[in-house]
Amino acid sequence: MRSGNKIYSPVRQFAAKLLVTFLFLLLAAQAHAQDTLAAIAHEKGAPSSLSKNELKSVLLGERQRWSNGTKVVIALMKTNNELGETISRNVFNMKPDELNKHWLALVFQGKASAPNFFNSVSELESFVSQNPGAIGITNQPVSLPNIKTITVDRKETL
């Protein structure tokens, strides 16, 4: 028998197909994981449960205080990264530029304080844990000191 590509060709074809399938599944799982969002808040302030409409209203600056009187402090990912774009699209139903313009208009008109924008999830989580009344959106439910995950429409993820 001749050693060369002809003998190993079916094995190589199978391995190539298996590799392509694996890479496709890995990319699909990564895309799904990036679309998983969770609302988090400082333990003092936000309620443990909100409807999606209530959450959107709070995050759009339409509500200034929680029911216990604590000032709402909004923490968002910067819209120039993938998670920020996903949040803009899935939570606000806006393009990143539309969300930025919304906040510029509110702040310019004196109707709301500017949200705090972050480059990383860890920075956002740290900010929320240190600021009573803070609320934000991350890419997963969180279990850290002073932070609670808010259920939205009775689910831990959006």
Q: Where are the beta strands (DSSP E) in the chain?
A: 38-42, 49-50, 73-77, 116-118, 134-138, 147-152
Spatial distance between the Cα atoms of 87 and 30, rounded to a whole number of angstroms: 16
Domain 37-152 has CATH 3.40.190.10: yes
Mean pLDDT of 40-59: 95
Spatial distance between the Cα atoms of 35 and 32, rounded to a whole number of angstroms: 5
Spatial distance between the Cα atoms of 65 and 49, rounded to a whole number of angstroms: 16
HSE of 41, CA atoms in CB hemisphere, 13 A:
25
Give the residue extent of every domain in the chain. 1-34, 37-152
pLDDT value at residue 143: 82
Spatial contact of 68 and 45, defined as CB atoms under 8 Å apart: yes
For 56-114, the pLDDT digits (tens) are 999 999 999 999 999 999 999 999 999 999 999 999 999 999 999 999 999 999 999 99
What pTM value is reported for the model? 0.77
Q: Which of 84, 92, 75, 79 is nearest to 134 (CA)?
A: 75
